[in-house]
A and B are shown apart, each in its own frame.
Chain A
Amino acid sequence: MTSQTISGISDDALTHRLKTEGIVLEAFPFVFRIKSPLAIVREGLQAVYADYPVLPVDSTFVDFHVAVVSARRVPRPLCVFEVDGARPFTPLAAGEAFAFLEWGMNWCVTGYCHSFLTIHSAVLERAGRVLIMPAPPGSGKSTLCAALVLSGWRLLSDEMALLDTRTGLVVPSPRPISLKNKSIDIIRGRAPEAHFGPIAYDTMKGTVAHMRVPADSLARAREAALPAWVVFPQYKAEADASLALRSKATSLVQLADNSFNQTVMGRAGFEALARLIDSSDCYDFTYGRLDEAIEVFSNLPIPR
C-alpha cells in the first residue's frame, strides 16, 4: 500500500484540510495532527515535509493535536501555537508561524515524551554508529549538522536524541533542520538544490529557516542505532579544526546537563547515560571551516 504524502495533495486541498479537519502527519516516531488557516504554514509544510506520510484522520492514533492560528490582525498580525486547545506560549509575529509550529512540536516532545531519555543535541549516523553533538545555541551545532548531512551522514535529529534506556539505542526522529542567520546562506551555498521552508525574520533567535531532511534519512527513520561518538562542538571564526579526546566523567555530566528529562527518568536514565558514555569516545571539537570539519568527522575511528 502506498501512503499519501504532503506533496501528493494539491495546494487547494491542503489549504482546505488545514483549515478544517487538519492533516495527520507522521513524523516518526510521533504523529501530529496539524491545523492552521495560515498560508505560510501550508507553504512550510509543502517545502520541508513534502515526503512525510499523511495518514487518515479517523483511524490514526495522534500523539499531539497542534495548531497555529491567527491571534490578532491589527496593528501587527500575530499568530499563536496551540496544543490540544491550550496555548503554552505568548503570540509571535504572523511571519514566524511556521517556525512557531516547529518549536511547538519540539516542545510537545520534550514536555511529554518521558518514555525516552531526551538529550538536546544533533544526532547523525554513519556506518551504523551514532554521533551525538550536544551543544548550547551559538556553538554551530545545526550548521555542522546540516553540512554533515549534505556530505552523506544520515540525520537522526537536528534537535534531540531519543535514547531508549533499555536497549541503549538512539531512536531517529528526523525533522527539518533549523538554521539561523548566516548559516542559512552558508548551507544554501553548499547545496543549491536543498529545499528550505519560509524564512522567519527577527525571531528571538534571529532569522530562522528550516531545511528539508534528505530522502534517505527519512526513509530510514525506523532504524535505531548504537552511539559511538559524543562530540561537543564549538565554532570559532577562522579557527583550524581541532579534535581532542575529553574525559568521560565530565562528558557524562555535560550530557546530563543537556538532557531535558534526565531527572524524570531517575536512576534508569542516569545508568543509560553512563552506558552511552562508556561505549562512546568523547571529544571536544573546535572548528572555523566546514570542509575541514567534515574531513575530521569522516575520519572518526569507531570505538573498540
Chain B
Amino acid sequence: MQSNIAIQMENISKTFGVVKANEDVNLTVYNSEVHALLGENGAGKSTLMNMLSGIYTPDSGSIFIQGQEVHFSSPKDSIALGIGMIHQHFKLVDVLTAKENIILGQKSGVFTKGKDLTKRVREISDRYGLDINPDKKVYDMSVGEKQTLEIIKVLYRGAKILIMDEPTAVLTPQEIKRLFQIIRNMREQGCAVVIITHKLNEVKAISDRITVLRKGRSIETVETEKVGIPNLIEMMVGKKVDLAIEKKLIDDKKPLLDLDNVLVIDNEKKHALEDVSFTLYGGEILGVAGVAGSGQKELCETIAGLTHAEKGRIYFEGDNIIGKTPRDIIRLGIRMGFIPEDRLGMGLVGSMDIVHNIILKDYQNQPGIFLKRAGCTEKANKIVKKLDIQTPSIYSPVKKLSGGNIQKVLLGREIDSDPKVLITAYPVRGLDIGASYKIYDLLNEQKEKGVGVLFIGEDLDVLIDLCDRILVLCNGRVTGIVDPSKVTKEEIGLLMTGGSMEQEDA
C-alpha cells in the first residue's frame, strides 16, 4: 500500500559523553503512514527524532528525506524540507494569540496580513479537521487546544512529515480520541506521522507500523496488525515481563486521614483546591486522577503541611493537623514522596550519597547538635539490599544512579520509617516497565501492612489496575470518587474535564 519513502535513516549513531544515545539505528517511514517509535525511557527515541528535526547532528549515518540525502545543521533546514516536530513541552508564547503564534519566526513583510492569515489558518483547519479560534490568546487555551495550535503551526509551515513527542501524555481520554482523528486525517492527506510513545494501547490504536528501540538500538520494525502487546513489551524490555498488578482487598479498613472542605489559594490568588473532602482509609490505595495541574501538587503539599490551607480541616487519627509544621506532620507518620519532572528536585539531594539522603528525613529525630551517621549507614545498606538498588556503593551520589534506582531510594526511605500514611506522587515517572512494577509491588506491600496510600498517578490504566478507589480532580475540585472496577476510562476522563459531555462525538 505504501508508495514512497518519506524518511529513511540509516545506521545513525549519536554519543553524548560516554552515553551512546543511538547506535546504528535504522528507520524507514512511508508517506501516508502513522509510524510509532516505541521504547522505554532512555531508549533513544527523542534523540533520534531530534536529529531528524535538525536539533542534533548525528555522529555517523545518513538521513534521506523523500529520497534525497540531507545534512541538517539547524532546525531551519529540516523545516524547509517539510519536517515539523511537536514537542512534549509546547513552545508557544502565552500572551500572543493563536494567529500570532503561528506566524512567529516566519519570514514575512513588516506588516502581517491579518485577513489572509485567518483565511489560510481556516483552510488548514478545515482540511485536517482541526478546530481553533485564531484570535484566542494562548493563556486562555486548554492543553488540548494548545496542542492543536502546535499542529497547525507546523502544518502552516508546510510540513508533510510530522513528529510528535509523547503527544498524549497531557491529554484526557476524550482529547486523545480527537487527536487520533486529526492524525488519521493527516494520514489521509498524505502526511507521514511519527509518534514517540511508550503507551502500548495507543500504539495499537493509531499506528500502521512500529519501530521498537531498546538501549539506543533499533530492534525491529513490525506491522501493528501483526503483533500483540506482550510481544511488543518483550521487544522493548528485552525479556518477558509479567504484567499483572495484583489487587488484594483488605477488609478491616479504618479511616486514617479525613479531609474536610479544604480550600487552598495559590500565589496567583486562584483557588488551587476548593471544597476538597475525602477520607483515606488504612489498607487501601486511593488513586488521584486529573489533568496535570488540577491541584495534585497542592493536595500533597497541604496534607504534608507545606502549603497553607485557607479553610477546612484535615483530621489524622482524630486530630486536626492543619497549622502543624511539616516536621510535626512527618513525626506523626505521614510521609510524602513527590517525584517532580526532573526526579531529583524535591525529595533527594542529587550530589549527596544514599546515606545522607536517608539522614535527610532522620536527623531531626536525633538528639544533640551533631549529626550521627552510623544508624543511617545501616539503614542505607538495608534499603539497598531490600529493594535491590543498583549502586556502586551507598556512598556514591544519587544523581549518578539510574532513574529507577533513584526512585527506589526515595520510596525506600519513606517506607523504611513505617509510615501510617504514604503519599506518593508520580512514583513511576520515567521508569521502565520492570522498575514500575517493582514500585507497584512495594505500594501493595504497604497497603497490606495497613498503610493508607495516596497515589497520584498519570496513567489511567495503571490507576484502574492498582487502586482500590480513584478520586478525580478537576480544577482543584473533587469531581468524583469512583470504584475502578465499575467505571471505564472514558467515564473517568469525563470527570477529569469537569463532567461535561462535550467532545463525545469524536
The yes or no verdict on A and B being binding partners is no
Residue numbers of A with Cβ under 8 A of B are none
